[in-house]
With several copies, the nearest count.
Chain A
Amino acid sequence: MPVYSDKVMEHFMNPRNVGEIENPDGIGEVGNPVCGDMMTFYIKVDDNQLSDVKFKTFGCGAAIAVSSIVSEMAMGKTLEKARKITPALVAQELEGLPKNKYHCSNLGAQALNKAIDDYLKKPGKKVKSKKRRKDEKE
């Protein structure tokens, strides 16, 4: 293997959260099969928290491991915290990535962010959720 860490190998062999979510609250698709990697993240948001995260990935071992670890890192986090999952954190969590695979960790964070963006820009969603919380608190 291109000097993948054990952690990368483990996530590649047994990726978590593979799949799609029916009626997701947000979808984020990044990359392009023409370039070699493509990731689609599906999220379910409950009370500003990621109650479910799933993905489908076309790409190399690193891309799959990155998708898997990002889904794991994001699961249960608030949207704000999930947004703080940076490529550097992803690479660190995977105990390192070969240099020419850094872009994969970018893709993972991007796809998650795009799914959150997608959720936030759905009509009403953002307001509704914020409102609802306010309402509930009041």
Chain B
Amino acid sequence: MRKVYLDHAATTPILPEVLEAILPYFKDAYGNPQSLHGWGDDAREAIEDARGRVADLIGAQPEEIIFTSSGTESNNLAIKGLAMAQQSKGKHIVISAIEHFSVLHSARTLEKWGFELTLVPVDRCGLVDREDVAKNIREDTILVSVMHANGEVGTIQPIREIARLAKEAGAIFHTDAVATTGTIPVNVKELTVDALSLAGNQLYGPKGIGALWVKKGVRIIPFLDGGVQEGGRRAGTENVPAIVGLGKAAELAKEEMESRMEHLSALRNRLIGGLLSRNEHVTLTGHPTQRLPGNASFCIEFIEGEATLMLLSSKGVAASSGSACTSRALKASHVLTAMGIPPEIAQGSLLFSLGLENTEEDVDYVLEAMPPIVDKLRQMSPLYAKFLKGERGGR
């Protein structure tokens, strides 16, 4: 059976060049970068080299990069660390309603610690309304965080414009660029942000590695307490192989950015066009044009996402869904909800996230596989039956 991985939003495979770059640091070069001997020197040089490459990808200075263990940790460090460092100036924070849980729940923790939080809404396409941001920034707003793009629906935000609002009001601006770094151009100077999160497993690098960029001069309180690693801003023995892997992945992403985007957009458009034309009662979620090149996300009416995923999986196809049944907590994705998608429609959420290794054949295979799956589930669906009968309760 053909195997088609279309779940790159969950995690990307590691490129062979990246794995090759990592391996020596699992074998002979196993030293601790803090050690005063040859093994330590090799490890230290390797992570500093990687720091340079990561900085290069986002137009930053190497010393502004703090390596962390994940996008989640980068966001925890950013939200909690920036807010704690600014709290003498005020205790109000603004984030969008569709932030990743690592931003949202960090902000909720700050609420418990006495901060105030405002969530700004998004429109039906997932775009943050700039006026809403402007309206909600107050005298005591110290931090604004809006993600660069949302991995679930693919919508890319106009970060530069939103950042300007924050800065005019004297607030720090952070963006979660986990879903964009390495996928579309991300340049901290062009985005005019103060801090930016990224993660290895979203750009064909390893899991277990992330980074937070913090502009020189912006204060941040460390999150992980302990030793002096990362300039005293993030303690713990450096994960040398993973850092090296992130560095290599960043280098490759920079080199291949253009061709990757072209490849992915072409596949994405084929997938979106094909799916919409071959299946009825399917809507594209997210913004029609301002979207991640690899993101094809839909709501398929009258059927439920988990069941769809299971049938896709039985055909060798990996995808994901924001339906309630696919979440541990049995709640529909807060992203879809914030976009105003009615809950019963959100249950049909289906996300195909394309990656470098995907081909037109992969897309065509999925396009072939989908109609019988949709059909089978709709034949079982009381909602579809009602819809056909034109009954109330259908749609």
Q: Which A positions have Cβ atoms within 8 angstroms of B?
A: 1-3, 12-13, 15, 18, 20, 29, 33-40, 56-64, 100, 103
- Is B41 on the interface with A (CB-CB < 8 A)? yes
Q: Which B positions have Cβ atoms within 8 angstroms of A?
A: 36-37, 41, 44, 302-304, 306-307, 310, 313-314, 323-326, 328-330, 332, 342-344, 347, 379-385
Name the prevailing secondary structure of the B interface residues.
helix
List 23 A–B pairs whose Cβ atoms lie within 8 Å, in order of A's numbering: A1-B37, A1-B41, A1-B310, A2-B36, A12-B310, A18-B380, A33-B343, A33-B347, A34-B342, A34-B343, A36-B304, A36-B325, A37-B325, A38-B383, A56-B381, A56-B385, A59-B304, A59-B307, A60-B323, A61-B306, A63-B304, A100-B328, A100-B329
A39 to B381 CA separation, bound complex (whole angstroms): 8
> Which of B41, B325, B342 is in CB contact (< 8 Å) with A59?
B325
Q: Is the CB of B304 within 8 A of A60?
A: yes
A63 to B347 CA separation, bound complex (whole angstroms): 13
A57 to B304 CA separation, bound complex (whole angstroms): 10
Q: Is the CB of A64 within 8 A of B307?
A: yes
Q: Is the CB of B36 within 8 A of A1?
A: yes
> Which of A1, A20, A61 is in CB contact (< 8 Å) with B385?
A20
A36 to B380 CA separation, bound complex (whole angstroms): 15
Q: Is the CB of A57 within 8 A of B314?
A: no
Q: With contacts A33-B343, A100-B330 known, is A38 near B382, CB below 8 A?
A: yes
Q: Is the CB of B382 within 8 A of A13?
A: no
Q: Is the CB of A33 within 8 A of B383?
A: yes
Question: Looking across the interface, which residue of chain B has its beta carbon closest to that of A8?
Answer: B310
Q: Is the CB of A58 within 8 A of B313?
A: no
A104 to chain B, nearest CB (A): 9
Q: With contacts A1-B41, A20-B385 known, is A60 near B303, CB below 8 A?
A: no
> Which of A2, A18, A36 is in CB contact (< 8 Å) with B332?
A36
> Which of A3, A57, A60 is in CB contact (< 8 Å) with B380?
A57
In the bound complex, residues from chain A placing their C-beta under 8 Å from that of B325 are 36-37, 59-60, 62-63
